[in-house]
Amino acid sequence: MKWISACATSASNFKKQNQYKETLMSKQYNKSVFVGHLGGEPEMRYTPAGTAVTTFNVATNDQYNNEKGETIKVTTWFRCTAWGKLGEVCNQYLKKGSKVLVEGRLTPDKATGRPRIWVRQDGTAAADYELKVLEIHFLDSRNNEPSIAQADPAEDDIPY
């Protein structure tokens, strides 16, 4: 009798695991995490409803060797937007050059649904990636301990 009960429990657990897996597979996920430095001072403004919005640019650096063995350095810029209390905290504690770990969701250009693309003054193409900040770690804190600030759960519209 115990064996039948164990089989029934295993079958029930298997069914629950498959339902959970199907639920996860039907959802999509958008989260980015990167470490970089602020390229300028953060700018805070308020929406007509009184919500704080702080924007700042973060540069990430990477390098690789090309086929000739030359070291190529690449800088990628991210426009970051922090809302509400998180925006106020970012505006208060961040400054040009601050090292941060940023977690958030990439948001597309509303007109195209893609990254914002433009041509620089020197004629080269550029793309701008915007990130809605959900959490930020201040890596330059005074006591060498990273500090963390998070968006309010009510501000986050990820359904999970």
Q: 150 versus 3: which is more confidently predicted?
A: 150
Q: Look up residue 41 and give its amino acid.
A: E
Residue 2 confidence (pLDDT) above 50:
no
Number of independent structural domains in the chain = 2
Q: 106 versus 6: which is more confidently predicted?
A: 106
9 and 39 both lie in a single domain: no
| Percentage of the chain exceeding pLDDT 90 | 52
CATH number at residue 136: 2.40.50.140
Residue 73 confidence (pLDDT) above 80:
yes
Residue 160 inside a domain? The answer is: no
Residue 58 confidence (pLDDT) above 70:
yes
33 band by pLDDT with thresholds 50, 70 and 90: very high
Domain span including residue 114: 31-155
Q: What is the pTM of this model?
A: 0.68
Residue 94 confidence (pLDDT) above 90:
yes
Which phi and psi angles does 97 have, rounded to 5°?
90, -10
Residue 158 confidence (pLDDT) above 50:
no
Q: Which pLDDT does position 5 carry in this prediction?
A: 45
Residue 91 inside a domain? The answer is: yes
Q: Determine the Cα–Cα distance for residues 125 and 94; give it in Å rounded to an integer.
A: 29
Write the CB contacts of 61 (distance below 8 Å, at least 6 apart in sequence): 36, 73, 74, 75
46 and 15 both lie in a single domain: no
Residue 9 inside a domain? The answer is: yes
Mean pLDDT of 108-121: 85
Mean pLDDT of 65-79: 93
87 band by pLDDT with thresholds 50, 70 and 90: very high
Write the CB contacts of 64 (distance below 8 Å, at least 6 apart in sequence): 71, 72, 74
Residue 80 confidence (pLDDT) above 60:
yes
Q: Which pLDDT does position 115 carry in this prediction?
A: 84
